[in-house]
Chain A
């Protein structure tokens, strides 16, 4: 039989000793984009192993969530660094300033390509951004030529462009919360959307309408949201060779034996094409640092030095092995200099 009168006090005493609070923080706290996560973690691990300091904690919260946490304030309870798969927005910058986060150092770390890929069992696809837009947008310009948006009537790729195969339009991609989706919409969809003169003209007059025409993905089943797991998309592509998938370049890089990237505007998504900017669907990746935390949280300066070293983000650094596309040397030099000098963002 269990002696209750002894178990309860014992458990309570455990609870009390467990809640003795620890002040301060002896590790770097990083939040932000799930796209930058695989790169930030590699640097964090390398830093932890080689510096003898504690390995930074890297949370995967998404770019927007990271900015929110980052801009909440200055102090040990707030993160030191936030990763982002897009540049900080002016509204976020303002919010940061309002909460006392005034010294923000911006660091661009490199580029990431977004690929449209399919299984190797099917032939490689060659599309233009215009094709992507016409296949996936909820509303497209009236095919008859009238300057008004109509619900997307296209069922197969052949409907979009006669040179494409007569396969059903079936694209697997991330949900709207994902930075990859944002970038895909902005770079591929909007890129195709802008090829229509009257829509481009609309941008100046009616920005809201322009955005809704260019940025809204169709919801009738042609675009299938698969969740923020790129591995899952890869597996579904293997199961369904007729479907296309949208995800980050590093997943294509790791699975090059099973899937192939589609050519976009006649450019193949290769390391070289993304690095020199000729592949159109690529975006820069960033992280932001609080200047006020440098010197307060141990290791921030050393971590920045590790991240901006050629050993990490250089042409042959370990980040490029993980699929990050390095910046040109001159650009790297500029950001490395800003980091060393702790130059802060003055405005956006």
Chain B
């Protein structure tokens, strides 16, 4: 007796140590995971937060009637076609009267974004009474100026290695010294479509495209997925065929997403002749991809409804369909919705299958429906990551932040649904 107790006593320390070690393994794993996540967030935020601000220049633009509308007709056609660039060039020349050389002048004009012309054009079209007056206008600065102000262009580099030369930096400093330059919230980033000028580029077009794509995905994959799950779980007999179907559904859930893109290309585009680059086709492809996820989640959620509920309903004289529709399905619904939302958030982050169906494209106008050409957020990020302009680096990260934001919201909604509505037996 004593011997055993001594043995246990002796091994106790070792067992405690093993216990502590085992826990610390888990803790270290969690810490590694969190550190990786933190690193990702820190690097994206550090690269991207500056994109939410944009440098603007203050110009006193004289809306010269002789340039905009020499005949004084105020005809909308004339107002649309007028050379508003001249107004800006004139303003810049008057601001820096000692710039005489043609090359220098070109450099001077380039401090202002090409988008300034369109904002002035917009002002005049909205209110033609501005013609003949002088207005103070804040216009976006060129991306190089923006990069200098944000510290991405180093003033100490030799002049030849800088995109902005000494002269240009002197002009920019002159703007800053008179208070005619400031960093403002970058509204354009959230309201504009794609552009090749970083200061005019925005994610709105991609967000709308993602919305339509996900709408199609939801509309197709949710009802089909739920119906398939209900049949397989509640009605189908257990035999070789249903086993085969089940194995295939599980396999489909693991198929690389690019394969669905290839399928979409050959079936939806080549065979069914649906339009290229359309969110409709993107949604079709992504719903093929999310369907297995939805079916598997829905079946699991149906399975967790206790048999007593079914038996109770049947015992009260309900038909099979009534039992499912009135009792089982409502109880399983929160779990199904959670599964669907998780499938949708995966679809939101997907870009590979969309490469195949022409959604990797430069599209400026936000789509007005699921048949208009459009891109989606992850594709926009991919496209920006591959552009030479330095200012797109921060925009790429900022767009990633927005995408992560949407994903967090969707996954948060899934967690909320689960805790709020899920019943436990």
Interface residues of A (CB under 8 A from B): 1-2, 4-5, 8, 11-12, 14-15, 18-19, 21-22, 27, 29, 31, 34, 37-38, 40-42, 44-45, 48-49, 52, 54-55, 57-61, 77, 120, 228-231, 248, 250-251, 253-257, 316, 318, 321-323
Whether the Cβ atoms of B216 and A15 lie closer than 8 Å is yes
Taking CB atoms, residues of chain B closer than 8 Å to A42 are: 196
| Closest B residue by C-beta to A232 | B385
Interface 9-residue window, one of B174-182, B305-313, B354-362: B354-362
Q: Is B395's CB within 8 Å of the partner chain A?
A: no
Binds A, one of B12-20, B22-30, B153-161, B399-407: B153-161
Which of the candidate stretches B2-10, B132-140, B248-256, B270-278 sits at the interface with the other chain?
Answer: B270-278
The one of B161, B195, B275 that contacts A45, using a Cβ cutoff of 8 Å: B195
* Chain B nearest Cβ from A41, distance in angstroms: 4
Is A231 a contact of B219 with CB atoms below 8 Å? no
Binds A, one of B50-58, B93-101, B325-333: B325-333
Q: Is the CB of A257 within 8 A of B386?
A: no
6 nearest CB pairs, A to B: A55-B364, A58-B362, A59-B361, A41-B362, A257-B161, A254-B388
Is B363 positioned at the interface, with any CB of A under 8 Å from its CB?
yes
Q: Which residues of A contact B371 (CB under 8 A)?
A: 21-22
| 8 examples of A-B residue contacts, CB within 8 angstroms | A12-B223, A15-B216, A45-B364, A59-B361, A60-B383, A253-B388, A254-B389, A257-B153
Residues of B near A12 (CB, < 8 A) are 219, 223
| Least distance between A224 CB and chain B CB atoms (Å) | 18
Instruction: Name the residue among A2, A54, A57 with the largest chain B CB count within 10 angstroms.
Output: A57
Pick the contact of B361: A5, A19, A58 (CB < 8 A).
Answer: A58
Interface residues as binary, B274-307 with A (CB distance below 8 Å gives 1, 0 otherwise): 0111001000000000000000000000000000
> Judging by beta carbons under 8 Å apart, are A18 and B219 in contact?
yes
Q: Is the CB of A18 within 8 A of B157?
A: no
Contact of A230 with B386 in the complex, beta carbons under 8 Å: yes
Q: Report Cα–Cα, A44/B273, bound state, in Å.
A: 26
**CA of A8 to CA of B162, assembled, Å:** 60
Query: With A45-B364, A58-B361, A257-B154 in contact, is A15–B163 under 8 Å at CB?
Result: no
Cross-interface CB contact of B363 among A40, A55, A229, A316, cutoff 8 Å: A55
Q: Which of B101-159 contact A (CB under 8 A)?
A: 106, 110, 114, 118, 153-154, 157
The answer to whether B237 has its CB under 8 Å from any CB of chain A is: no
A256 touches B362 (CB 8 A): no
Contact in complex: B162, A257 (CB < 8 Å): yes
CB pair A18–B330 under 8 Å, yes or no, is no
Task: Point out the residue from B222, B373, B383 that lies within 8 Å of A57, measured CB to CB.
Answer: B373
With CB as the reference atom, state the residue of chain B lying closest to A8: B223
CB-defined contacts of B315 to chain A, threshold 8 Å? none
Chain A positions within 8 Å of B280 at CB level: 18-19
User: Which of A4, A120, A253 sits near B330, CB closer than 8 Å?
Assistant: A4
B contact residues, total (Cβ < 8 Å): 51
B392 → chain A, closest Cβ, in Å?
Answer: 9
A38 touches which of B157, B196, B358 (Cβ 8 Å) = B196
Give the docked Cα–Cα distance between A44 and B161 (Å).
30
Which residue from B275, B365, B369, B390 sits with its C-beta under 8 Å from A55?
B365
Q: Identify the closest chain B residue to A5 (Cβ).
A: B325
Judge whether B393 is part of the interface by a CB distance below 8 angstroms.
Answer: yes
Q: B212-224 CB contact bits vs A (8 Å, 1 = yes)?
A: 0001101110110
The minimal Cβ–Cβ distance linking A220 to chain B, given in whole angstroms, is 28
Q: Known contacts A27-B373, A57-B362; is A15 also within 8 Å of B388 by CB? A: no
Contact A14–B106 (Cβ < 8 Å): no
Other 13 A-B pairs with CB < 8 A, given A22-B275, A31-B358, A60-B362: A11-B218, A18-B215, A18-B370, A41-B362, A55-B365, A59-B277, A60-B383, A231-B385, A254-B390, A256-B162, A257-B153, A322-B196, A322-B388
Whether A37 contacts B161 by the Cβ 8 Å rule is no
Q: Is the CB of B333 within 8 A of A1?
A: yes
| CA–CA, A1 and B369, complex, Å | 31
CB closest chain-B residue, reference A253: B388
Bound CA–CA A44/B373 (angstroms) = 15
Q: In the complex, what distance in Å separates the CA atom of A316 from the CA atom of B110?
A: 12
Q: Which residues of A contact B373 (CB under 8 A)?
A: 27, 29, 57
Docked pose: A319 CA to B399 CA in angstroms: 26
Contact B161 A4 (CB under 8 A): no
A37: nearest chain-B partner, CB-CB: B362
Taking the complex as formed, is B78 at the interface, i.e. its CB lies under 8 A from any CB of chain A?
A: no
